[in-house]
Amino acid sequence: MNVRNILDKVWLSLAVAAVVVALAPLASIIYYVTVRGIAAISWNFLTHNFDQIGNSGGIANALEGTFLVVALASAIGIPVGLLAGVYISEYATGRLADVVRFLSDVLVGVPSIVTGILVYSAIVVSFPTPYKGYTAFAAGIALGLMEIPIIANTTSESLKLVPNSLREASAALGIRKWRTIFLMMANCLGGIMTGILLATSRVAGETAPLLLTALGSTQSFQGWFNSIETMTLFIFQNGTSGTPNLVEQAWGASFILLITVLGINIAIKLVTRRRIVFV
Amino acid sequence: MYSEVEGIEVEGSPVSASAVNTIPFDAGKHPIVEVRNLNAWYGPQHILSDVSMKFKRNRVTAIIGPSGCGKSTLVRCINRLHELVPNSKLTGNVMLDGVDIYGKQIDVVVVRRRIGMVFQKPNPFPNMSIRDNVVAGLKLAGVRDKKRLDEIAKNALQQAFLWDEVKDKLSNSGASISGGQQQRLCIARALAVEPEVILMDEPCSALDPTATAKIEELINKLSEDYTVIIVTHNMQQASRVADYTAFMYLGKLIEYDETPTMFENPKEELTERYITGKFG
């Protein structure tokens, strides 16, 4: 065996080792969450609200809260993100386009706690409610702000992949610009849907901004201007409580959250596989 | 608001609709298309310099010249596609039936409906069926009547000599047929909006000889009802299909005459050298 072959083998084993290092924690997370989580799960657990004292409590209010907060976030993030993406790709030209695109890239990378503190000072502190201004509304705004740049970027990138010849074909037929844009969006629907699902799954797993906005609750939804429980807050509060049965419930909630996010990611794969191919 | 333009409902503000109607339809008074002192730029590049020419109604005019001479840019100025390119600029006038299509009151959408275009590479909408491709221009202008659309689709496909080949698979994707068929589909798509002028930018350069022959046959037929302006790098093609031929070089119109005269008896030495293959 010569030196080159040895180097080749060394290089390969290093690469394999790196893959193991990268995948081992992921595998153990899935393993532990599944094993410990499944133990906590029962019909009762899924259908009852949190109960501080007994073992009879569950995550019904947390599931409801996550669903509602993410729904509000998407109601803001999807339309604003789509419009921003369309603007970046189809309208902005020259320097302005570069600036907007750069800002959008930066926004994707803003740590979620920063978004949280922004909404905390702008909304929570400014509009006191029974729970010191902590509201489901503020939580939805915070997560919505996080969705916007993700959806804007994926939308503009997807639109840029649509060949210009189709834009010209549409324009040459006397189709108005906004209709042309809809036509172009239909041609890259897979990419746009991916961005929307990606943004949704990302914010569904957020905790930091929710600590500063939603606060958490032991009750079901009490209106948009009241504090609200979410899955991640449930995991955070019970997981660190030190009470064994509550910690177990946190594992159960983690498992549910994990399969939800996993489910969204599988949906992304299915959507992208059906992506329209250009001839 | 909807307004009637040649029986096609066009969406748009009433202001632009009335501006449209100022383009007269009385044929014959003016050349159908006239280009006056046209200059065009892409960024700093001066592509067209001072081109002036008149195009005859219901005739085929070919524009020939070496690559980069500005022939594509010229046709793209005639339906205002040139302005879609960032940093492009244009001076001069393009008259359609005696009205400047770059005038302030003119709705660009209506200009493009009256001047259709077929591109170098076939570009059907891949997410639409063959039938929907043909009527895309109408559907996306708000025409909803299914029966009427079906009829228009059939008519346009027949005019483009494509009906017999696709009548049993109208719901298949527009991208599922051969390149030559796709190009005829694009011609049908342009015809469906009932333009008066059809611009063709090297429509056969991506096609094999059989498909090319079919398109050329089609062009001859189309000139009975339409004015055709075709850009080609193929001189044989120009001599086969065109009543008039224009030769361009370095952004300038060098010579423009009836096709036989151009090929047998050119006045300019440059034209003769290009036609005889001495450069280009």
The residue among B5, B10, B127 with the most chain A CBs within 10 A of its CB, best to mutate, is B127
- What pLDDT is attached to residue B13? 36
Give the C-alpha separation, B125 to A172, whole Å: 13
Q: Which two tokens stand for residue B185?
A: 């589909």
Tokens found for residue A235: 């995991």
Task: Write out pLDDT tens, residues A60-73.
Answer: 999 999 999 999 99
Band of residue B23 on the pLDDT scale cut at 50, 70, 90? very low
* Cα distance between residue B31 and residue A169, in whole Å: 26
Per-chain mean pLDDT for chain A: 91
pLDDT above 80 for A276: no
Segment A227-247 shows an average pLDDT of: 92
Q: Does B140 touch chain A (CB under 8 A)?
A: yes
Task: Give residue B273's pLDDT.
Answer: 92
For A175-203, write each residue's pLDDT tens digit.
999 999 999 999 998 899 999 999 999 99
Chain B hits for A278, Cβ within 8 Å: 126, 175
For residues A230-254, give the mean pLDDT.
92
Provide the Cα torsion B197, B203, B208, B214; round to 10°: 0
Domains identified in chain B and CATH numbers: 2-275 (3.40.50.300)
The answer to whether residue A235 scores a pLDDT higher than 60 is: yes
Q: Tell whether B250 lies on the interface with A, counting CB pairs under 8 A.
A: no
> What is the percent of chain A with per-residue pLDDT over 70, rounded to a whole number?
96
pLDDT of residue B1: 33
The residues near A225 (Cβ < 8 Å, ≥ 6 apart) are: A129, A135, A136, A137
List the single range of A51-65, A157-171, B57-71, B162-176 with lowest mean pLDDT.
A51-65
The one-letter amino acid code at A34 reads T
Residue A217, token pair as written in the block? 């609750």
Per DSSP, A228 falls in state B
In Å, the largest CA–CA distance within chain A is 76
CA distance B199 to B96: 13
- Residues A199, A146: Cα–Cα separation, whole Å: 8
CB contact under 8 A, B136 and A175: yes
- Quote the CA–CA distance of B218 and B204 in Å, as a whole number: 12
Is the pLDDT score of B7 beyond 80? no
Q: Hey, what amino acid is at B103?
A: G
Write the single-letter amino acid at A243.
Answer: T
pLDDT class of B8 with cuts at 50, 70, 90: very low
Tell me the C-alpha distance between A197 and B134, whole Å: 34
Judging contacts by C-beta atoms under 8 Å, the chain A residues touching residue B180 are none
The model carries a pTM of: 0.84
Rounded to the nearest 10°, the torsion over CA A215, A219, A221, A222 is: -90
Among B54, B57, B94, CA closest to B73:
B94
Kindly list the residues from chain A whose CB atom is less than 8 angstroms away from the CB atom of residue B117: 172
- Partners of residue A172 in chain B, C-beta under 8 Å: 79, 81, 112, 116-117, 119, 190
Q: Do A187 and B126 touch (CB under 8 A)?
A: yes
**Interface A:B, Cβ pairs < 8 A:** 79
Q: Any CB–CB contact under 8 A between B112 and chain A?
A: yes
**Residue B136 to residue A167, Cβ atoms within 8 A:** no
**DSSP code for A85:** H
Rounded CA-CA distance A83/A155 in Å is 9
B81 close to A (CB below 8 A): yes
Cβ contact, residue pair B84, A165, below 8 Å:
no
The C-alpha of B220 sits at a distance from chain A's nearest C-alpha, in angstroms, of 22
How many angstroms away from the CA of B262 is the closest CA of chain A? 30
| Residue B57 clears pLDDT 60, i.e. is over it | yes
For A73-85, what is the mean pLDDT? 96
pLDDT at B16 over 70: no
Lookup: tokens for B199: 């611009």
- Are B109 and A175 inside 8 Å of each other by CB? yes
Beta B33-42 vs B88-96: how paired, if at all?
Answer: antiparallel
What's the gap in Å between the CA of B224 and the closest CA on chain A? 21
Which chain B residues contact residue A94 at CB under 8 A?
86-87
**Cβ separation of B125 and A176 shorter than 8 Å?**
no
How high is the pLDDT of residue B181?
94
Q: What is the DSSP string of chain B?
A: -EEEETTEEEES-HHHHHHHHTS---TTSS-SEEEEEEEEEETTEEEEEEEEEEE-TT-EEEEE-STTSSHHHHHHHHTT-GGGSTTEEEEEEEEETTEETTSTT--HHHHHHHEEEE-SS----TTSBHHHHHTHHHHTTT---HHHHHHHHHHHHHHTT-HHHHTT-TTSBTTSS-HHHHHHHHHHHHHHT--SEEEEESTTTTS-HHHHHHHHHHHHHHTTTSEEEEE-S-HHHHHHH-SEEEEEETTEEEEEEEHHHHHHS-SSHHHHHHHTTS--
Contact B189 A276 (CB under 8 A): no
B134 touches chain A (CB under 8 A): no
Residue of A160, A175, A182 for testing the chain B interface, max B β-carbons within 10 Å? A175
Q: Would you call A165 and B123 a contact, using CB atoms and an 8 Å cutoff?
A: yes
B11 touches chain A (CB under 8 A): yes
Give me the pLDDT at residue A271, please: 77
Nearest CA in chain B to A177: B109
**Chain B (184-203) residues lying within 8 Å, Cβ to Cβ, of chain A:** 186, 189-190, 193
Mean pLDDT across A29-33: 92
Contact between B54 and B31 (Cβ < 8 Å)? yes
| Closest of B6, B11, B13, B5 to residue B144, by C-alpha | B11
Provide, as residue numbers in chain B, all residues whose Cβ is less than 8 Å from the Cβ of A171.
Answer: 81, 84, 112
* Nearest chain B alpha carbon to A168: B81
CA distance A212 to B3: 55
pLDDT at A278 over 50: no
The pLDDT of residue A265 is 86
- Taking alpha carbons only, the member of A150, A133, A153, A271 closest to residue A202 is A150
Instruction: Judge whether residue B15 has pLDDT over 50.
Output: no
3-state secondary structure of A205: coil
Question: Which percentage of chain A shows pLDDT scores above 90?
Answer: 72
Spell out which residues of chain A touch residue B12, defining contact as CB-CB under 8 Å.
176
pLDDT of residue B149: 94
- The fold for domain A43-273 equals MetI-like fold (1.10.3720)
Distance CA A29, CA A251 (A): 11
pLDDT-based confidence at residue A117 (cuts at 50, 70, 90): very high
> B81-102, pLDDT tens digit by residue?
999 998 899 999 999 998 999 9
The secondary structure of A91-136 as a DSSP string is: I--HHHHHHHHHHHHHHHTS-HHHHHHHHIIIIITTS--TTTT--H
User: Looking at CA atoms only, how far is residue A273 from chain B in angstroms?
Assistant: 15
pLDDT of A274? 60
| pLDDT for the residue numbered B183 | 94
> Measured between CB atoms, which of B111, B117, B140 is closest to A175?
B140
Two tokens at A170? 């549409």
Nearest to B112 among A165, A171, A183 (CB): A171
More confident residue, A274 or A105: A105
Look at residue A215 and give its three-state secondary structure: strand
- CB-nearest partner of A176 from B79, B109, B111: B109
> Which positions in chain A touch B126 (Cβ < 8 Å)?
166, 187, 276-279
Q: How far apart are CA B252 and CA B238, in angstroms?
A: 19
